[in-house]
A and B are shown apart, each in its own frame.
Chain A
Amino acid sequence: MDRRTVEVELSTTGLDASGKPQRVPILTDDGGGGLAVQAPPGIEPDLEGEHMLINIGPQHPATHGVLRLVLELDGETVVRCIPHIGYLHCGFEKIGEYRQYNQIICWTDREDYLNSIGNNVAFALGAERLFGIETTERCKVLRVIASELSRIMSHLVWLGTFCIDIGAFTPFLWAFQRREEIYRLIEKWVGARLTTSATRVGGMAADIPSGWMDGLRQFNRTFPHTLDEIDRVLTKNAIWVGRTIGLGVMTPEEAINWGLSGPMLRASGVDYDVRKDFPYLDYETYDFEVPVGTNGDVYDRYLVRFEEMRQSVRILQQAADRLPDGPVNIDDPRVILPPKSKATSEMESMIHHFKVVMEGPRPPIGESYVAVESPKGEKGYYMVSDGTAKPVRWRIRPPSFVNLAAIPKMVEGHLLSDVIAINASIDIVMGEIDR
């Protein structure tokens, strides 16, 4: 692959006139001198000898959960990689067939637990298409806010753990500090930190409390500073660049054929984002850009996710400005509970409440597949209804399951230590992979 030139900050060269670290361009092909940062060469079977098998996981801090990889090594070069998954298989799809639509929302939290509130939104969208209802304008904007906050949360965990895998600890602490701020916002809104269950079919569990928007605006103002800080520490850091550039390259054609989605696909140069191409929640009316990489390596995936966080802040700002007044839940007694004050004082409302909770809303016979752009990629919920209150089939299209399937292709020919960086760049979450 081509050699690329990246400006790298070296800590030894001192500061320039403006007090910022001097940037030293490291090697170009026309002989600049200095460090060479380039893709590792392909497999060179130099020594005839026995290959070694090495097992990583299922309990290993760098596999981001309970993934297990069996690697065949020639020296330190990976010849073959066999992933074993299923160590967190909890039967989500089976249990979904035994629960009503509103009950399933509690399971969506725990499936991709870094993006729990985004999953709630995705499931509610899928169920609403199955019911044939459309939510109110206020609800849509609130769901956009929820999705983008959860995208930032998920990317922050990815960033922190990725840094730890490569050997940098400080960005992990910074990332988790900012995560705590989002946690506090979400807790004020729905009462839970991680397992939010924030949506309902036809609306949200709760409207935002008064003054909540000020907290969001404050977050929007301050969060880019943290991003700048992490950016300055990592993006042009010689070690970071050296450990990420040229690893795990997927060409656009390969990426599409392997079914990659989300930042993995966009880093390979394929311009596909569900928010732009199959819009939901009026995403087509928001002004944001989709970062697309060119090289499809680990470094590009890092840049793409990093830029996505900035774009999420842009979307959050627009959403905060446009939030309309009005009801959050639709006015449809088939699916929406009566207000609690009425349910405890009026007989009819109480019966209505009882029927919605115990019998559950019933969609017409049909099926729907609704995909959203989750932080990991295209997350789809496919539901089939036979007219009863519980779905016949609840299928999760897990983006990181499909993305992880490409890991044997990506790590082939790289060093053992690079496997960790490549694995981290996929941004897997085992709860979603194994379900």
Chain B
Amino acid sequence: MGLTAPAEHRTVSYAPESQEGWVATRLDFLVNWARANSLWPMPFGTACCAIEFMATAASDFDLARFGMERMSYSPRQADVLICAGRVPFKLAPIIRRIWQQMPQPKWCISMGACASTGGMFDNYAVVQGIDTIIPVDVYVPGCPPRPEGLLYGIRMLQEKVKNERAADAGTRDEMEPDPSSQLYIPPSVIDELGEPFGNSVNQTRSGL
């Protein structure tokens, strides 16, 4: 950091009788602890998961326990984008723009199967996972996830935030999409991710 304390500050003297409490800690820890416990969510609720998100925020599950009760409907004041619900292609530029409007440091939770992979909507209209549009930190599975599941995802994100190092330059750099395609990841990878798999492979034929 280039900062060194002057010689007289390198030693600390402590007088127990002074009754003044003080704590020594790492700056990283302090910042991360503060950040992790006051994540302001930006609820990007589109579909069913948004209802479970509302249930999480309401009295029974009480998101306020994690310092997250302050919903930030403006992306410019938000820390966590919680994408709750399916994202069709028509909505793709919107979520990209919201993500770009959020200031650093920022995180993203992809809530539910549809946001994470396209879920049961393997068709012409739905983005096969929002990680093809924006970077995602935590995926919460479920269709929709129960509130407990979302809370677990939030705890995981808090763990992640607490383990960040301020000295790691680059973790907070804004990713620049490829200028020609506006995509973060190569098109071939997106095609591969979008390949149908499992049961739906056999169900592309209309009629039988």
Direct contact of A and B (CB under 8 A): yes
Asked whether, in the complex, the Cβ of A59 is within 8 Å of the Cβ of B124, the reply is no
Query: Is B19 an interface position by the 8 A CB rule?
Result: no
A177 close to B60 (CB less than 8 A): yes
Centre residue among A66, A160, A359 by max chain B CB count within 10 A: A66
Interface residues of A in 150-173 (CB under 8 A from B): 157, 160, 172-173
With contact pairs A90-B123, A98-B204 given, residues A195 and B90 touching in the complex (Cβ less than 8 Å): no
Q: Would you call B125 and A91 a contact (CB within 8 A)?
A: yes
CA of A61 to CA of B88, assembled, Å:
19
Chain B residue at smallest Cβ distance from A86: B90
Given A88-B91, A91-B125, A94-B123, check contact A61 B73 (CB 8 Å). yes
Q: Which of A94, A98, A434 contacts B205 (CB 8 A)?
A: A98
Q: Nearest-CB distance from A66 to chain B (Å)?
A: 5
Q: Is the CB of A195 within 8 A of B51?
A: no
Chain A residues in 8 Å Cβ range of B52: 193-194
Q: Which of A64-119 contact B (CB under 8 A)?
A: 65-66, 86-91, 94-95, 97-99, 106-107, 109-110, 113-114, 116
Tell me, yes or no, whether B140 is within 8 Å of chain A by CB: no
The reply to whether B51 and A114 form a contact with Cβ atoms under 8 Å apart is yes
> With an 8 A cutoff between CB atoms, is A180 at the interface?
yes
Whether a CB of chain B sits under 8 angstroms from the CB of A179 is yes
Partner of B94, one of A58, A116, A193: A58
- Give A269-324 interface residues, CB cut-off 8 Å to B: none
For the complex, is A431 an interface residue (Cβ under 8 Å from B)?
yes
Contact yes or no, A87 B94, CB < 8 A: yes
Q: Do the beta carbons of A177 and B86 come within 8 Å of each other?
A: no
How far in angstroms is the closest Cβ of chain A from B176?
23
CA distance A153 to B127 in the complex (A): 30
Identify which of B55, B73, B125, B144 contacts A179 (C-beta below 8 A). B55
Q: Do A99 and B203 have beta carbons less than 8 Å apart?
A: yes
CB-CB under 8 A from A229, the residues of chain B are none
Whether the pair B46, A88 counts as a contact (CB closer than 8 A) is: yes
Please tell me the number of chain A residues within 8 Å of chain B, measured between CB atoms. 46
A139 interfacial contact with B, CB 8 Å: no
How many inter-chain contacts with C-beta < 8 Å in the A-B complex? 110
The minimal Cβ–Cβ distance linking B60 to chain A, given in whole angstroms, is 5
Tell me the residues in window 232-262 of chain A with beta carbons closer than 8 Å to chain B beta carbons.
none
Alpha-carbon separation in the docked complex, A209 to B125 (Å): 39
Is B109 in contact with chain A by the CB < 8 A criterion? no
Q: Mark B46-70, 1 if CB is under 8 A from A, else 0.
A: 1110111011001110000000000
Tell me, yes or no, whether B71 is within 8 Å of chain A by CB: yes
Are A176 and B125 in contact (CB-based, < 8 A)? no
Q: Is the beta-carbon distance between B48 and A386 smaller than 8 angstroms?
A: no
A88 and B208: CB pair below 8 A?
A: no
Output the least CB separation between A189 and chain B (Å): 16
Contact at A58–B126, with CB atoms within 8 Å? no
A430 interface residue per 8 A CB criterion: yes
Give, as a whole number of angstroms, the nearest-CB distance from B142 to chain A. Answer: 9
B residues in contact with A386, CB < 8 Å: 207
Known: A176-B54, A193-B146, A360-B208. Is A88-B71 also a contact (CB below 8 A)? no
Interface residues of B in 61-104 (CB under 8 A from A): 71, 73, 85-86, 88, 90-91, 94, 98
Give Cα A89 to B85, complex, Å. Answer: 12
Q: How far is the CA of A430 from the CA of B120 in the complex (A)?
A: 18
Interface residues of A in 171-187 (CB under 8 A from B): 172-173, 176-177, 179-180, 183
> Which chain A residue has the least Cβ–Cβ distance from B146?
A193
Q: Does B188 contact A (CB under 8 A)?
A: no
A179 to B52, CA, bound (A): 11
Binding site for A on B (CB under 8 A): 43-48, 50-52, 54-55, 58-60, 71, 73, 85-86, 88, 90-91, 94, 98, 120-121, 123-126, 143-144, 146, 203-208
Write 16 A-B pairs (CB below 8 A) sorted by A numbering: A58-B91, A59-B94, A61-B43, A87-B46, A87-B90, A90-B88, A90-B123, A97-B207, A98-B206, A113-B47, A176-B58, A195-B144, A360-B208, A430-B47, A431-B47, A431-B48
